[in-house]
Each structure stands twice: as structure tokens, then as C-alpha cells.
Structure 1
Amino acid sequence: MLNVVHGDIPDETSDAIGGGSANEIAASIRRRIERGDLDTGAVLPPVRALAERLGVNRNTVVAAYRQLAQAGLVASRGRGGTVVAGAAPAPQEGFAQGSVLRDIGTGNPDPDLIPDPSRALAAVVGRPVLYGEPVIDRGLDAWATAWLGEALDPALAFRLTVTSGASDAIDRLLSQTLTRDDPVALEDPCFLSSLNTVRLGGYRPVAVPVDAEGMTVAGLRAALAAGVRAVVCTPRAQNPTGASLSPRRAAELREVLADHPYVLVIEDDHYSLLSTQPYHSLIGTGHRRFALVRSVSKFLGPDMCLAITASDPDTAERLALRLSPGTTWVSHLLQRLTHALLADDTVHAGIRRASAHYARRNDAFAALLAEHGIDADVGDGLNVWVALPVGARAVCEQLMRRGWLARPGDEFILADTGAARRLRLTVHDLSDADARRLASDLAAAIEAADLKKAG
């Protein structure tokens, strides 16, 4: 077995790699990694050198390395070259396992504000559903058709699909549209689940910057010029920034997309019923490939793994085919429970109270930060997006010494280095005293990180 070490690249490493196309070169390197011939940290041959030996264009090797990077098998180290990556799990939403620190990076809703399903559960048990029956429960179908229909342009024809959450829907939507290495426009910074879905699917993420009004026009125009075949956008409560599309921005984005009617536009309206902002859509009257995805996880709880998608008939048909080889439908018991809760006025009143609570607590925490001279974007959603004068990783290290586990902004970025000086904090469940202590500790952590950098 050849154990490749850091530093100079042995000739036999390059000689053992074969292929005349990007796919063949990537497959050759993948086989050597899987057999253990290339250890973690092994340096791959420089692009130019490998291209010359194989007699292929330099861009062919670039594409092969990009495939491997998207699969998580290699990583670029700049001047250090491209190296074999170790098993590093991608950042995920939720609690950090095994930590004794107070976790303020979870992105979770408050469990005390999630409706109790006990009363509704007794009413949803009925006749068993068998193979070949309609996959969408009749009651949920009628309720969701009205709910999503009011958000879309009346001229747009659509069909509903039910999946096991928004991430499941987006994964299946992309897989029925794209092939490996196809470019996908993603917001930058980006929701962790969407970013992981695109990377693990082998697609090529194209960064579209986000500002206070959502996805930028110039960024979308550049992504379309780069040939993206799909656009994933969060129209409101963008995670992590909290930004929501303004009416003006949405109209400008629709105008840009008007020349690209067959690019699949996926809108992930994850916050929907909790949002304090109106819904403004990228999907124009004449757009041919679209999907509006609304999950129930934020207001009915993450364990209610259900999302409803309204998409054009052709996309809906393809999405249904993607469901058929495996999980043909989402449990009708879960669908009935979801409908029973969403049709209950008491539950809706509770969701409105939860929405006001999240907004009020986030605003209050931003005010505490302002007292310490720290800026934060509250926007809409469960989190606060905090601006820092120094690197977020250094501040997180200082916060850990004070008992806090925060989430640095660079976990969400594709290309925008500005997010490396951001924190995404989930603080709505902190008591007033804990919120004041966190604001004070954050100010101290920034000062300590700044002094360490200067020293």
C-alpha cells in the first residue's frame, strides 16, 4: 500500500491515477482513497502536472477534483494543494451532542410553544390506508391547496406533493431536475440543510449574496449567466440572516427570471405561519418550473417531519416518481394529525403567540447587545445574526470559556468572507438574567479575542 505523505508528491501517486474524462479521473482517485492507497492528508498531483501526464485539458482535471470535493473526499488547501479529506461531519442544525456548555446555536423552536397533539391524536386514527390509495390525505389536500394557492400567482397551475420535511422535498426536487456537477444557485450565507443537500448531491453550489432585502439581483443575474439550472431561495426569515424579500426586490428578481422560465425555482418558506413578514414570491406568472415548499417543523415541532410542496404539474409528476421507488407516501396518520392541528383555531392562536414571542425576545436581546456597542440583525425567524469586529471562531473560543456554545457564521458561507465575522445565536428561550449575562459575556469575549489577535 502506498502511503502518501504531506509535502512533495511521489511520482507513483500521479502514475497510479488514470482516465481521459473528469468522471474517469475522479473515479480512479476515489478507488485509491477507498482502498486506502491514499491516506487522509495525502496531497494530490497539481492540476497542470496531472493534465500533462494524462494528455487531457487542464479543465478536465479541475472538474475531476471538483467532483471529489463536492463528495467530501478531497479539500483544497490553497497553496498547500488539494488533499484527501478526513471524515468530517458537516454542520447540522440542533443541539451539540455531549456538550456541558449552554448551547445558543441550536436553531430550535421553543418546545413550550409547540402545540400539544394529545387531543388531536385521538381523532386521527381511522381505517388503515393500503397500497394504491391516494397518497395525500383528503382533508390535508383541501386545506393545503387553499393555503399554498393563496401564496402563488392565480394564473399558475400547480399540484401538491407531501414529503418527509422540507429537506426531503428539496433533495428530491433537485435530483429529478439535475445531474452531477450541475450548478445550483444558493443564498450566501445559506441555510445549513440546503447547503449540505447540494454538496452531498454532487451539485455545484453558486453563491448569490443576501442583503437586508433578501437574495440580490446582481447575484441572481450572475448565477443565471453561470448556467444554474435551479435556484433555492428563502423568501422570508432567511436562515441565518433573518432577511425577507421586499416587494420591490421580489419584483426585480421575477424580472430577471422571466428570461429563464425553465430554471427550477424552489422557494423554501420554512417559517410560514410564524412569520411576521408578508410573503413575496420569485415565481412569476409565466414561470414553467417552480416549487413552493412549506414544512410544519418550526410551528408544529421538528418531529412532525412533513412538508407540503406546490409545484407545476410536470415537476409534481417527476417528484411523485422520485417518491415511488422508496417511501411512496408520508404516513396518513401524520398527515391527519397535521391537518387536525392546522384546522384548529386554538392552535393557530398559539402559533401567533409563538411568533410574537420569538420576535419580542430577539428584539430585546439585540437591544442588550446595542448597549455594549454590538450590532445585530434581528429580521424574522428564530435567530439573531450578530456582527463582530473580529473573527467569529476566536469569539466562540472565548465564549466557551464563559460557559456558552455559539455557532460561527462561517459554517453558513459559500463565498462571502464577511460572514466569518458573524455569529448566529438562538436566544429566544433565555431568561432575562441569562440574556443580560450573555450580552455581557459576548462583549468580554470580543475584547479578549481582539487583545489575543493584537498580541
Structure 2
Amino acid sequence: MSIEPAIADRAPADGAPSDESTGRFIADLDDRTPAGIAAAVGRLIRSGTLSPGSRLPTVREVARELRVSPVTVNQAWRALAATGAIVARGRAGTFVGEQISATPVGRSQRLHPPSDSAFRVDLARGTPDPELLPDLGAALRALSRDQAGDLAADYLGEAVLPDLAAKVRADWPFRAERLAVLDGALDAVDRLLAVHVRLGDAVAVEDPCFPPFLDLLAVMGARPVPLRLDESGPLPADLARAVTKYAAVAVILQPRAQNPTGASFTAHRVRELSDVLDGSRTMVIEDDHSAGIASAASRSLGTRLPGRTVHIRSYSKSHGADLRLAVAGGPAELLDPVVARRMLGPGWTSRLLQRVLVNMLDDNSAGKAVATARAEYRRRSSALRRALARHGVTVARGDGINLWLPVADENAAMISLAAAGIKAAPGGPFVVGDRPSIDHLRLTIAAVTDADVDWLATELAAATTATPTYRRVRRA
């Protein structure tokens, strides 16, 4: 809903003066885009220069001060209002909110709602098959008493174990100036955004997108700019639009096994996207969440843009979620502030867990287990797609553990599947831009067994054509 009428040019009904400090402060702005204006006002609010309840100047006052269009200021005000930083009160004017909202919009909660229902098959989890993970116990047993004691007692040791750094660098997609170990891929993305993105900034994201990314952007008051996808990843034209029209300060990408579509970068697409970003200052964040279990080659924009790309490789899906380990590699300019800020909190990721991961990466049996899982996920995905094709349902081929199933109506499809004892993830939380012409469900194939494939395909095919039913009301 637009807040333009509430922040129109009329003076407050009570004649109270506006807070002119806002206009004077942001009059020196170099960035007079909507994002730049929103970020400047956001800094005033966070610093306390603008206190809760302060009335903001009218749109025309700010536009006149900055010598920009009132439309530009309105866009900035809408971005601020979406976070709760400012509140429109009709004819009274627009005021600084009591506090900037820190509550996620809840896409992640919509994706995994609590449920007491029993389902025969759960295709909504988005997690790997526990039976295909390597033996964590063997890696723990390999941790010697001396190693454990030395690591546990050391507050001042290296934040990244040298052995792990050497292992990672051996097959990293580009020469990374700095490596950091964090508590999973989402933690790495969160910390990068928190340090480098400000209130009102535009951030380009894939559409459909991993819902927690959108929740993170909502918390910090950043604006997601959607990038449509094909089988090779984001469309270069959409990225060019995000950079030139919206001045995106960052772009979040999933280079392979994109969640939810399974799309993976080609070498040609990497060149196209890099060419778009060449000459810009846009930070590239790559979440390679399915390293190990993805069949596609490891590709990164860092091969062409090493000074602005942070590539994140996590081990949750390949080696175990409770390891909570991800390695981020990229330029010191982007990673050093993250590491420095983290030292004021947890400091570092447990070096004991890092040692466990090193042991698993060195262990031949663990390596074979990961390779077996990769082949098995590919086989299960192919088996379900072939079974669906026999029912006339075509699903785009993707990598990893998810399928993006087109349906006539998301809610009707969910109800149809639930009645059959099948739990699926709704596609709505993944959508960034306008509602697409075709609804989708995300299906995780990790738990699909051979015995269930034909039955699942029959029920899924029926769900794709399910439509809402409405009870007719008899006229009196």
C-alpha cells in the first residue's frame, strides 16, 4: 500500500513545525537516489539525531532541499515505512517510528509451519537424507586427545585452522585473498549484509529466492530487487537493471543447485553476469550451499571479479547440519570488517569442529559417502521427473535435492497432497516480485524411495491441476 497520500505536501493540521534538521543533514548527500536518501535518514534515526516521534519534513520540502523529484523522495519514504522506521499519520504528517522493526516478515516460518499432522512422505524439509551423510562418529574418534586439548584451551589461535584453509584453497574456484570460517552459509550471508548493507539499500536477489534471504533483508530495511531465472541462473538484463536503475549495493546468488529451482551457472552465464557488474561497486555474495552433493561444476563470478566477490561454501548438506560450518573466501576489504565485528561476539567458529571437518575431508570413506549421496540424489530426482513425465507433467531438470513443480493453484495443490499424506513446501514464500503466472511447489527429493516414486508421481500429477472449490450459497 502506498503511503504517498499520508506524506503529501500539506502542512500538519496542528501547524507544528517540521524537523528541518533532516533536510539540512541530507542536503550534502552525494547519492540522491531513493536508496541513498533512505539510507541517510536511517542513519539519522539509528544515531538518535532523529528521535522517536519526530515529525519529518514534507515530501516537497525534502525534494526542494535536495533538488530531486518528489517521486524520488516518496520512494525513499516508502522504503523507510516498510521497516517501521517512519509512520504516516494522515494529515498530521509523517513521523519517526518508536523503533525500527526487527521482526522478520516470516517467509521462513511460512515455509516450515508447525504441524501436528502425520504425513506419509515429507517433501517440504529441504534437508538431505540422514542415511546418506558420512559417519560423523568416525571423525570424532579420529580427534586425538592432544589435538582436542590444545584447541579447546586456545583463545588466541588462528581463527581458521591452517589445515582446513589448505584443504579449501586447493579447489576454491578463484584465488581468495582472505578466508573466514562462519557458523553456516546463512550466518555468513547475514554477517556480510549486516556490515555492508544499510537501511534503504537495494539488494538484487534471484526470483524465486531462498526465503531466509528475504527475511534478512526485511529485518535490516533493505529492498530486494528481483532477478528472473532461467536454467543457467539470473538473467543478465535483470541484473543490469538492478545495478543501473536501482543502484543495487549487493547481489545474492546461488551458483549451483539453486534453491528452489535447481538451476546452476554455466561458464557463459558467469561471463555475462561479470560483464554486467564490471565497473560497478556491487558486492557479489555467492552461497554454494550444495557443494559436495551438487553434480554441476563449481563456478564463481570471483574468477572474473575477485575484488568484489565473496564465495561461501557450506558443509551442512554434504557432511552434517550440526557441524554448522561454512567457509567464506574473498577480498580482505569485504571480509575483514566481518571478522573484526565478530570478535566482539562469538569470536570464532569452534576449532574443534573445524578439526572434525578436516578429518572428514581427509577420510576416504567419508569422501566415498559424499560421492554416493551426490549420485543417489541425482538418481532420485531423475526417477521422479521421469515418473511425472509419464503423467504429462514436465519439471525442469535441476541439480541438488529440490524440484520446482508448476501447479495450477498453490493452495489447492497443497490441500490435494495433504489429503494423500504428502507434505510439500508452498512456492509463495520464494517469490520476490509480482505473483507469477504459474504457481509452484518446492519438493525435496532427498527422502523419496523407489517404492514411493510411482505413487508420488500419480498424486503430484493430480495436484498440479487441482483448483480451488467454492461452496455455492443458495439464494433465499
Normalised by the size of structure 2, how large is the TM-score?
A: 0.77
Is structure 2 residue 79 aligned with structure 1 residue 66?
A: yes
Match of 1:252, SS?
A: helix
Counterpart in 1 of 2:440? 422
| Of 438, 457, 462, the match for 1:439 | 457
- Taking a change above 3 Å as real, the CA distance of residues 133 and 346 of structure 1, as seen in their structure-2 partners, is same
- 2 CA distance for matches of 1:349 and 1:419? 43
What are the within-5 Å matches in structure 2 for residues 72-221 of structure 1? 89-92=106-109, 96-102=113-119, 103-124=122-143, 125-127=148-150, 128-148=152-172, 151-152=173-174, 156-221=175-240
Are the equivalent residues in 2 in contact too, given 1:409–1:420 (CA < 8 A)? no
C-alpha RMSD of matched pairs (Å): 3.6
Of 346, 364, 372, the residue aligned with 1:345 is 364
Alignment-mate amino acid for residue 309 of structure 2: F
The alignment status of 1:296 with 2:315, answered yes or no, reads: yes
The 1:404–1:26 alpha-carbon spacing in structure 2 relative to 1, beyond 3 Å, is farther
Aligned to 2:25: none
Q: Quote the offset at 1:289 in angstroms.
A: 1.8
Q: For residue 386 of structure 2, what is the aligned residue in structure 1?
A: 367
- The amino acid that maps onto 1:304 is L
Q: 2:436, 2:417 → 1: CA distance?
A: 20
Distance 1:286 1:430, change over 3 A: closer
- The reply to whether residue 251 of structure 1 matches residue 274 of structure 2 is no
For structure 1, list consecutive stretches of 5 or more residues without a partner in the other structure: 1-8, 33-49, 75-84
Q: 1:101 to 1:404 in 2, by over 3 A?
A: farther
TM superposition shift of 1:55: 10
* Correspondence 1:323-402 to 2 at 5 A: 323-388=342-407, 390-402=408-420
CA distance in structure 2 between the partners assigned to 1:398 and 1:453 by the alignment: 17
CA contact under 8 A between 1:93 and 1:107: conserved in structure 2? no
Q: Note the residue ranges of structure 2 that are not aligned, 5 or more in a row.
A: 1-5, 7-11, 23-37, 65-69, 88-100
Query: 1:160–1:202: structure 2 CA closer, same or farther, 3 Å change rule?
Result: same
Q: Secondary structure at the match of 1:291?
A: strand
* CA gap 1:130/1:69 in 2 versus in 1, 3 angstroms: same
Superposition deviation, residue 330 in structure 1: 0.4
Deviations 1:294-322 (A, max 9, x none): 01111112211110011112222112112
Tell me: CA distance 1:133–1:363, structure 2 relative to 1, closer, same or farther (3 Å): same
Deviation at 1:106, TM superposition (A): 0.9
Q: Describe the SS at the equivalent of 1:283.
A: helix
Cα deviation digits, residues 414-443 of structure 1 (max 9, x gap): 115327511110133123343322222223
CA–CA separation in structure 1 for the residues paired with 2:356 and 2:84: 37
Seq. identity, %: 32
Are positions 1:231 and 2:248 aligned together?
no
**Cα distance in structure 2, aligned partners of 1:366 and 1:359:** 11
CA distance in 2, matches of 1:292, 1:189: 20
Q: Does 1:449 align with 2:467?
A: yes
Tell me, in whole angstroms, the C-alpha distance in 1 between the residues paired with 2:196 and 2:333: 11
* CA 319–26 in structure 1, closer or farther in 2 if over 3 Å, else same: closer
Q: Are positions 1:319 and 2:300 aligned together?
A: no
1:58: Cα distance to partner? Answer: 5.8
**How has the CA–CA distance of structure 1 residues 188 and 453 changed in structure 2, closer, same or farther, with 3 Å as cutoff?**
farther
Separation (CA, whole Å) in 2 of partners of 1:72 and 1:116:
48
- What do the CA deviations read for 1:241-260 (whole angstroms, capped 9, x no partner)? 00011111111111112222
The answer to whether the 8 A contact 1:93-1:192 is kept is no
Separation (CA, whole Å) in 1 of partners of 2:82 and 2:284: 25
Structure 1 length-normalised TM: 0.81
1:61 shift after superposition: 4.9
Partners of 2:307 and 2:330 within 8 A in 1 = no
Q: Which runs of 4+ in 1 moved over 4 A?
A: 14-28, 50-59, 70-74, 85-88, 92-96, 450-455
Distance in 1 between the 2:19 and 2:354 partners? 49
Measure how far apart 1:191 and its partner are.
1.3
Q: Partners of 1:454 and 1:143 in 2: how far apart?
A: 65
Deviation at 1:195, TM superposition (A): 2.1
Equivalent pairs, count: 415
Aligned residue for 2:93?
A: none
| Secondary structure at the counterpart of residue 447 of structure 2 | coil
- Mapped to 2, the partners of 1:203 and 1:286 lie a distance apart of 24
Q: What is the deviation of 1:401?
A: 2.4
Q: CA deviation at 1:288?
A: 2.1
Give the Cα–Cα distance (whole angstroms) in 2 for the partners of residues 307 and 445 of structure 1.
37
